[in-house]
Amino acid sequence: MKSIEVLNDDHDPYYTNDSGIALLDGYPSEWFQVNYQSDRYSVRTKSNPSCLSYNVFTQTPTGINVVLPDSLYCSTDSIYYAQHTPNILHHIKEQDSVFCSIVESFENCLYPQIVADCDIPVLGLWDPRLGEIQLREGKNSHVIRHEASHYFTFNIMGFHQFFETTNPDVTNPNFAMPYQAMDEAFAEYWLSIGIDSTYHNHGIANDIAGYDVASINQLYYDGSLAINESFYTNYWNRYPLASVWWSLRGSSLFPNSDQGVVGVDTLLVAGLKIVNEEIIPNSSYRYKPRYFYNILMNLVADGSAPNTLNPKQAAIDNAYKSRGFHFTPQVISAGVSNPPDGRDKNMFRIGDPVHVKVTNCPQNTPLTVYIVEDQDYTDGMNISALNTIICQVSGTSDNDGVWYSSTPVMTATTVGDYDILVDIGNNGVLHFAYIGANVRDGFDGLDGSGFTVYDDGIDVVVALDNSGSMAGVSGNLQRTARALIGYLYNGDRVNMFKISSSNQQNYVTNLVGNNTSLITIENNQDKLMNSVSACNTNHNTNLNVPFNSGYQRFSPPLRNRGLILFSDGLHDSGIAPNNIQNLINAYYQHNIKCHSMCYTTQASFADMSMNNMSIITQWGDGFLPFW
């Protein structure tokens, strides 16, 4: 056994080496004894204030052999005590080697005295107010390792705990159990490193890595407690919390140091030091698992957008949420209620239902969903300071930390960009930064807009040439115009009018809509088609009229818009200038395409017809079919 103190005569103490050998300067004297201690830790019993010692030895051919007994006894009353004390010495030495490999300076730290055979209701106890580590016995190796790990964490945190006990009754450790998850989790984690295993408890086959908050509630609390963020702080959640960190060991995202220290261990120690630096402001929330989670997320931040987790942050968050600790809500917009993973939707047509789904939210927690116009946010801003709130819906997350709208939270009505905000806990303040123990709220739209409402309907204004030259195709003209209406979808808008001209005036006859408005398609196609009467072809054609009269018929909102001219393109040059480009130049709007349907009515003028109609579509960035 290494580092055990040996006294002989008045020499300075000797300490055994890795092989358990101490080289004495002389033969054992009457003052010879082996103390149950090293230069940094010692073991006594509850009934004996002094360090335990043993002085029985056996002479062998190779030297003096001392076998430390498992059970020592008090000579005055012959009661055995300090059972399995050598086991304590062995395991604290091994565990201490782990501590010193992680934090090199810890090798200079003295441990509180270890007291065996304590009459306590638990197997072991570390309470800084007592100034000692108390053990019921030394049989179970994990007990001394666990309690020593408490002290290791306590030391790194500047002699503080996550939950500072204030109950004066130190004989009742149970009062603090609802708040001790973090203190216990670190004791379990360092213990796991010491034994290189997550199987801790003698006689219990369960691996601590198999627990999550739901199974802890069932196994240790008979399912009697509500699972929410307050539940996370309970004592027995030490197992899933410790396994969170254990699961990250070996990840390439957290490489080992040049000295071989595991990357996650370095990260955790850095986090504990931050806890120490913030020991006064964090006094009211230090014990909450969220606080240390926030520290870790900040430590691995790399300047990514606030709504995007970098690979390290994602790995940490996944390790937590897979065990039921939900700290960074995910919010999506969707077209249906409770969409499966990957079925979010961020583009909505006018009239579409908009649903919202929130995941990775603390379980059984009230929340309010807000739909707002896309805007910028600052951490800590009040919801009352937001720009226009379009709508809001309240609810409560379920046992899995999920909430979704069973009915649409809104119907898309106005074109624009929108954000979704989820106030977790309904405190009226928005947080997205990992600061203190602030509850991170849910955002879809922290970076750019959350979703967009667009209008994919079309506005069509159709001018029908009703001049005399169209007499031979007037039936085709009517059928084509009616067919066009039949192809439109609900939400599209249409306006249709006939044109002809004489030397004295232009003739415009409205068929669908009027001079300044369009008619919306709402399952009314048949009625509108009947409005397209037969053309009474007469007079001449002034190709100025379709544009002069047609463009003014469009109205907001902006959407895909087009003007279509049904004509043979035979322009009467005596009515207006013959330069077709000049005719439309004064009226053409660049956000409205101009198309034409060319009808060949007189073979002798076919080239002129096609040329005129082609110029119109080229100038209007449109399309030219012909009949």
CATH of the domain at 446: 2.60.40.2550
- 613 in the same domain as 469: yes
Q: Please, what's the b/e burial string for 411-422 (b: 16 or more CB within 10 A of its CB; e: otherwise)?
A: ebeebebbbbbb
pLDDT of residue 157: 97
Q: Give 418 or 549, the one with higher predicted confidence.
A: 418
Task: Centre a 10 Å sphere on the Cβ of residue 586 and count the other Cβ atoms it contains.
Answer: 10
The pLDDT > 70 percentage for the chain reads 90
Q: What confidence tens digit (pLDDT) does each residue in 352-361 have? A: 999 999 999 9
Question: Scanning the structure block, which residue is given the tokens 């239902």?
Answer: 353
Amino acid at 44: R
pLDDT of residue 328: 97
Listed in sequence order, the residues at least 6 apart from 622 whose beta carbon sits closer than 8 Å to its beta carbon are: 562, 593, 594, 595, 596, 616
Q: Give 37 or 588, the one with higher predicted confidence.
A: 37
pLDDT of residue 558: 72
Q: What confidence tens digit (pLDDT) does each residue in 454-485 have? A: 888 899 999 999 888 888 888 888 999 999 99
Range with top average pLDDT, 280-284, 423-427, 573-577, 613-617:
423-427
Q: Name the packing angle between helices 181-195 and 238-248 (round to 10°).
A: 50
pLDDT of residue 265: 97
Q: Specify the number of domains making up the chain.
A: 3
The pLDDT > 90 percentage for the chain reads 56
Question: Scanning the structure block, which residue is given the tokens 């034409």?
Answer: 596
Listed in sequence order, the residues at least 6 apart from 327 whose beta carbon sits closer than 8 Å to its beta carbon are: 290, 293, 294, 317, 320, 321, 360, 362, 440
- 348 in the same domain as 481: no
Q: What confidence tens digit (pLDDT) does each residue in 191-208 have? A: 999 999 999 877 776 788
pLDDT at 619 over 70: no
Task: Centre a 10 Å sphere on the Cβ of residue 34 and count the other Cβ atoms it contains.
Answer: 24
Instruction: Tell me, yes or no, whether 286 lies in a domain.
Output: yes
- 614 in the same domain as 487: yes
Q: Which of 397, 421, 454 is the last residue of a domain?
A: 454
Q: How many residues does the chain have?
A: 627
pLDDT of residue 351: 86
Amino acid at 375: Q
* Alpha carbons 93 and 2: distance in angstroms, whole number: 8
Q: What confidence tens digit (pLDDT) does each residue in 220-266 have? A: 999 999 999 999 999 999 999 999 999 999 899 999 888 788 999 99
Asked whether 490 and 507 are in contact (CB, 8 A), the reply is no
pLDDT at 576 over 70: no
- 280 in the same domain as 162: yes
* Alpha carbons 202 and 528: distance in angstroms, whole number: 84
User: Where is average pLDDT lowest: 51-65, 109-123, 392-406, 560-574?
Assistant: 560-574
Q: Which of 260, 184, 178 has the alpha carbon at shortest distance from 221?
A: 178
- Domain housing 398: 330-454
- 338 in the same domain as 285: no
Q: What confidence tens digit (pLDDT) does each residue in 391-405 have? A: 999 999 999 999 999
pLDDT at 12 over 80: yes
The pLDDT confidence band at residue 101, using thresholds 50, 70 and 90, is: very high
Q: Is 252 exposed, middle or buried (0-12, 13-18, 19+ CB in 10 A)?
A: exposed
- 408 in the same domain as 463: no
Q: Which of 260, 278, 299 is the last residue of a domain?
A: 299
- 444 in the same domain as 562: no
Instruction: Tell me, yes or no, whether 77 lies in a domain.
Output: no
Instruction: Tell me, yes or no, whether 360 lies in a domain.
Output: yes
pLDDT of residue 78: 47
* pTM of the complete model: 0.81
Instruction: Tell me, yes or no, whether 65 lies in a domain.
Output: no
pLDDT of residue 470: 85
For 275-284, what is the mean pLDDT? 94
User: Where is average pLDDT lowest: 65-74, 335-344, 385-394?
Assistant: 65-74
- How confident is the prediction for the chain on average, in pLDDT? 88
- 586 in the same domain as 493: yes
Instruction: Tell me, yes or no, whether 317 lies in a domain.
Output: no
505: CATH: 3.40.50.410
Asked whether 207 and 151 are in contact (CB, 8 A), the reply is no
Both tokens of 306, joined, read 């606030």
The pLDDT confidence band at residue 47, using thresholds 50, 70 and 90, is: confident
Question: Scanning the structure block, which residue is given the tokens 């002085």?
Answer: 55
For 161-179, what is the mean pLDDT? 75
- 422 in the same domain as 402: yes
Q: Which of 113, 57, 60 has the alpha carbon at shortest distance from 85?
A: 113
For 609-618, what is the mean pLDDT? 71
pLDDT at 74 over 80: no
Instruction: Tell me, yes or no, whether 62 lies in a domain.
Output: no
- 611 in the same domain as 462: yes
For 520-541, what is the mean pLDDT? 86
Query: How far is residue 22 from each of residues 3, 88, 608, measured CA to CA in Å?
Result: 9, 20, 116
